[in-house]
Amino acid sequence: MTYVGTTYIGNFMDKSLIFEVLDRVNRYLIQSDFPVRFVYLGKLEVGPGYLINIPVGGVQVKGYPLEAIIEALYAKLLQELNKDESFPMRRIFGLTTFPLVSRNKYFHMYDKFLGFQQEILGMKIMVLSMKPFESENKELMAERIFKGILHELGHSFDLDHCSGECVMNPPSTLEEWDERPPSYCPSCMRKLQSAVSAEIFLQK
């Protein structure tokens, strides 16, 4: 078994929605016979200085600098591992309530990211903004976040984007995302199962 530490960052008040989504993710992984489980680590507290104002269409929009959030998640993962180095948790997943942005190296502008992942010294750091998925329909919002988590999890096991009826098929619009099935296609599922098994074998 391998575990994914999970936290959220920001002022999101509906914790029940997060717990509902994580429970659904774990139930899906159990039903799919994936030896991967998400473990809730509590809220990741970051100072207000993490938020920056981004000019968008003549207004200021608050966002998180992607690099700072990645560093905070990595530090949180190391903190958890220091509690028990034998615990097989080499991944952490952060859900944020604000957009994720990163300054373009060549232009005075910011690039936006819905989800992102990075490997640091063998640790996989994943982050997903819930902001684009917001809806007054809580069931729809939970479905969108659920699929986003599966998508980033797939990437963390080296799955590429897929062109089929699959959660790994990236959408061009939110409407397309709503039409994506909340699951991996058979081909991506086989690749994922193989990657998970190989990783667990190497950890022994």
Choosing from 119, 139, 152, 165, the catalytic residue is 152
Residue type, 96: T
CA distance 55 to 35: 43
Annotated catalytic, 152?
A: yes
Residue type, 81: L
Give 159: exposed, middle or buried? Use CB within 10 Å, 0-12, 13-18, 19+: buried
CA distance 11 to 185: 34
Torsion sign over Cα 179, 143, 123, 49: positive
Long-range contacts of 103-109 (CB under 8 A, 24+ apart): 103/65
Reduced to 3 states, what is the DSSP secondary structure of residue 126?
strand
Which residues, 6+ apart, have CB-to-CB distance to 143 below 8 Å? 178, 182
Q: Which residues are identified as catalytic?
A: 152
